[in-house]
Amino acid sequence: MKGKHIVLGITGGIAAYKAAALVRLFVKAGAEVQVIMTPNAREFITPVTLSTLSGKPVITEFFTANTGEWHSHVDLGLWADAFVVAPATASTIAKMANGVADNMLVTSYLSTRAQVFVAPAMDFDMMQHPTTTRNIATLRADGCRIIEPAEGELASHLVGKGRMEEPENIFREIDDFFNLTAGMKGTKLLITAGPTYEKIDPVRFIGNYSSGKMGYAIANEAAARGADVVLVSGPVGDSLQVHPGVKLVKVESAVQMLEAAAEAFQAADIAILSAAVADYRPAREYDRKIKREKDGIESLELVKNPDIAATLGASKHPGQILVGFALETDHELDNAAEKLRRKNLDMIVLNSLRDKGAGFGVTTNKVSLIYADGRERTDFPLKTKTEVAADILDAIATMKP
């Protein structure tokens, strides 16, 4: 935490008074804190309290009224090593999720490249409302870490989920993040993601339902932790975003994916192979569209594609960590253990299509991690793919030579 730059956004909720304790914890740990308040937050806690604790003038407006000095949201966003919004009201969460940049806090949020932490605080019914649920899900998908509110008595005297997490716990979560980042900084990671398309002719291909979401989540999480990431991606939809620290290499077929992955693997410390590679490709690729009547094709001859994981596993040198995935429909544990051995992997991430919410297309996953070093398997509950990505990287951190 020492020397880290924290932007702390405070919004207009009763929990704003707790932000003072949070500023103190950061400052005591040696961090520099720049507070941004929304106009409403000033109704709950005074800027004087926060500027005294942080040792810096608090920013609430785009301009200082008496001098006309402009506060650059871009500079602030780039200055931050962590961007924390605590407490985050339903309104600010909605603005962040939708890019409504009508105050200094949301504008700075849109300009930051730092990891963003959001600690919601609101009444029980507002927290449960489908709108809030949807907006929080959007923030998660955009890479924000949500610090879940605790249950307890709320300002309305209703009892339920909505109380901002205690400042000590918010502080610990951000401190843990910096420690993890320090562990990954400069680590070279190769990730494969998405499906592969195997061309039949200029308009047709053999492919699969992989969305690439899991691999992109791992790449973005690793980049947020400071790793140098090469993401070799098969064809995925345009909606998947990549963190600025990720080098994206787009490929189409398994043969192209092997070529790009083998090259990046030479310099990699860790490779995580989440792509759903097509096992077969057509033996012949037509350079013109196949015509139903004229060509009268009855069947396609297929040839086996290279196994990227097994190829990298065979060339792995000491110190490199190779992680694969196994998406199974039956005999899950046996199949995963067999793949771990056959491909010379160090760990395999097992997900079963029998589990609701796991597998292709969805934003959640339920995985088990199986290790080659003989340690016991870990089973995780259903989580978002971003959270699963964090679990996988945490597990790999424990394996680092």
State how far the Cα of 236 lies from the Cα of 234, in Å rounded to an integer: 6
Binders in 164-203 for ligand CTP, by CB under 6 A: 192
Give whichever of 197 and 325 is closer to ligand CTP, judged by the CB atom: 325
Asked if 339 is part of the footprint of ligand CTP (rule: CB under 6 A), the reply reads yes
Asked if 307 is part of the footprint of ligand CTP (rule: CB under 6 A), the reply reads yes
Least distance CB 164 / ligand CTP (angstroms): 40
Stretches 69-77, 82-90, 107-115, 304-312: which one binds ligand CTP (CB under 6 A)? Answer: 304-312
Give whichever of 77 and 324 is closer to ligand CTP, judged by the CB atom: 324
Tell me: cis bond preceding 87? Omega within 30 of 0 counts: yes
Binders in 277-296 for ligand CTP, by CB under 6 A: 277, 279
Give whichever of 123 and 346 is closer to ligand CTP, judged by the CB atom: 346
Give whichever of 184 and 326 is closer to ligand CTP, judged by the CB atom: 326
The closest of 146, 170, 5, 184 to 79, measured between CA atoms, is 5
Stretches 116-124, 238-246, 302-310, 385-393: which one binds ligand CTP (CB under 6 A)? Answer: 302-310
Q: Which one of 40, 208, 335, 344 is the catalytic residue?
A: 208
Stretches 280-288, 300-308, 355-363, 372-380: which one binds ligand CTP (CB under 6 A)? Answer: 300-308
Looking at 13, 195, 234, 324, which residue binds ligand CTP (CB under 6 A)?
Answer: 324
Give whichever of 309 and 396 is closer to ligand CTP, judged by the CB atom: 309
How many residues at the interface with ligand CTP, by CB under 6 A? 16
Asked if 273 is part of the footprint of ligand CTP (rule: CB under 6 A), the reply reads yes
Stretches 58-66, 138-146, 275-283, 353-361: which one binds ligand CTP (CB under 6 A)? Answer: 275-283
Least distance CB 45 / ligand CTP (angstroms): 50
**208 assigned to active site:** yes
Looking at 10, 121, 127, 309, which residue binds ligand CTP (CB under 6 A)?
Answer: 309
Other beta carbons less than 10 A from residue 314's beta carbon: 10
Catalytic residues: 208
Footprint on this chain of ligand CTP (rule: CB under 6 A): 192, 254, 273, 275, 277, 279, 305, 307-309, 324-327, 339, 343
